[in-house]
Amino acid sequence: MMRLKLYGTDIPNAGSGETAATVGTLATPALLLDKDRLDRNLARLSSRMAARGVVLRPHMKTAKSIEVARRAYPSGSGPITVSTLAEAEYFAQYGLRDMTYAVGLAQHTAERAMRLRKVGIDLKMLLDSPEQATILGEAGRAAGVTPSAFIEIDCDGHRGGLTATDPRLFAVADALAEAGVKLAGILTHAGESYSLCTSEALVEAAENERAVAVAAAEKLREAGYECPIVSVGSTPTAHFAENLTGVTEMRAGVYMFFDLVMHGVGVCTTDDIAVSVLATVIGTKPEKGWILIDAGWMALSRDRGTAAQRADQGYGLACDLSGKLYPDLIVSQASQEHGILAIRSGSAEALPDLPIGTKVRILPNHACATASQHELYNVVAAGSDAIEAQWPRMRGW
């Protein structure tokens, strides 16, 4: 399943699948994954959910890698969440069967998803309108399978879904029954929690997410509908929820890697961030306080998620080869293949002396966006510079 480059195969990390010896010998830019931090992050949330008797359904949109999924599930068939049907098809080939596609459906996705149900994959869909229920029912009939779908609930005005008090909730449930679609349950996502930064606000957002989801499920049950699953989740609320009464499953994705946005929200420390972009110094402009590196937005992504937070990290925070932070050294600007390192404005720190060829590691604003710019993870252990493996990522739709 590795999607290999057919050129440059003699170049370490050119996607050849060959494993380079050390971080120091990798061609740059390159994506590094600290597997010990990954395992620690996975264990942190899974034990938190286990202690509350809530099923954890990790979202694979961040990692898009079977090797990462197998760190969470050394064996077994899930459960997982996916953000594209290409992810569902990819993970299905590795034996994962219990999946939720957490994006609203249209006709082409309904038909494509039913092909997976036809081969025994328990892929559950998401919708919030009677029209979508009808479309899904028709796709199921055409494929000769019984579809299963969640009704999306809007708990904080973030994106899609119906509010728990919206009378259309019953119209959708009726349309599902009429279309011959199994009601899997209700699903909500506290997307607005990403904009918070105090534990009080995060605890409140988590309780609101729970309360709205449970209220919607209760409404359906009181009206006689079966609503087995109450699915909530976002990385911030998953880590700050104090009470999950009535919730049956939790979804989260970026918690596996964490990033500077999650650090700004207050969910992790910079020492928890498992992914970084290895870059090389290719120029210096001391007169401007600049160090040029070969990681621009193509390697870091254009994500500026920390711009709205208390600490704007530019395009990322710079660390040395061992992962030790340089005080207040950020990627202040990025073009396609160039990044500019500079001291954060207002800081009294001095620009470090990094000669041409110096390797640095950049902690990303948004792990989902940064990882998606790369073909594979160069896997390292904490405190070691040996590349233990190269794990490919899938992409596309």
361-390: contacts with its own copies (CB under 8 A): 366, 368-369, 372-375
Segment contacting its own copies by CB under 8 A, of 37-45, 109-117, 143-151, 261-269: 109-117
Phi and psi at residue 110, to the nearest 5°: -60, -45
Candidates 47, 107, 198, 384: give the one binding its own copies (CB under 8 A).
Answer: 107
Residues with Cβ within 8 Å of 11's Cβ and at least 6 positions away in sequence, in order, are 27
Residue 59 DSSP code: B
Q: Least distance (Å) from its own copies to the CB of residue 224?
A: 26
Residues 178-237 that bind its own copies (CB under 8 A): 191
Query: Does residue number 83 form part of the binding site for its own copies (CB under 8 A)?
Result: yes
Candidates 100, 129, 148, 237: give the one binding its own copies (CB under 8 A).
Answer: 129
Residue 9 DSSP code: T
Q: Which residue has the tokens 């990462």?
A: 68
Query: Does residue number 397 form part of the binding site for its own copies (CB under 8 A)?
Result: yes
Q: Least distance (Å) from its own copies to the CB of residue 206?
A: 19
The secondary structure of 283-296, three-state, reads: EEEHHHCEEEECCC
Residues with Cβ within 8 Å of 284's Cβ and at least 6 positions away in sequence, in order, are 290, 291, 292, 354, 355, 356
Amino acid at 66: I
Q: Which residue has the tokens 């057919």?
A: 6
Q: What x/- string results for residues 238 through 267 when contact with its own copies is judged by CB under 8 A?
A: ------------------------------
Segment contacting its own copies by CB under 8 A, of 36-44, 108-116, 117-125, 198-206: 108-116
Size of the site for its own copies (CB under 8 A): 76
In the chain, count of helices (H) and strands (E)?
Answer: 11, 17
Residues 10-69 that bind its own copies (CB under 8 A): 10-11, 13-15, 27-30, 61
Residues 138-167 that bind its own copies (CB under 8 A): 157, 159-160
Rank residues 214 and 340 by Cβ distance to its own copies and give the closer one: 340
Distance from C-alpha of 13 to C-alpha of 341, rounded to nearest angstrom: 24
Q: Least distance (Å) from its own copies to the CB of residue 44?
A: 23
Segment contacting its own copies by CB under 8 A, of 177-185, 237-245, 257-265, 297-305: 297-305
Residues 269-288 that bind its own copies (CB under 8 A): 280-285, 288
Residues 306-345 that bind its own copies (CB under 8 A): 335-338, 340
Q: Could you count the other beta carbons within 10 Å of the beta carbon of residue 224?
A: 7
Residues with Cβ within 8 Å of 322's Cβ and at least 6 positions away in sequence, in order, are 383, 385
Candidates 41, 65, 81, 109: give the one binding its own copies (CB under 8 A).
Answer: 109
Tokens read off for 191? 């997307």
Query: Does residue number 172 form part of the binding site for its own copies (CB under 8 A)?
Result: no
Distance from C-alpha of 339 to C-alpha of 280, rounded to nearest angstrom: 10
Is the Cβ–Cβ distance between 316 and 275 less than 8 Å? Answer: no
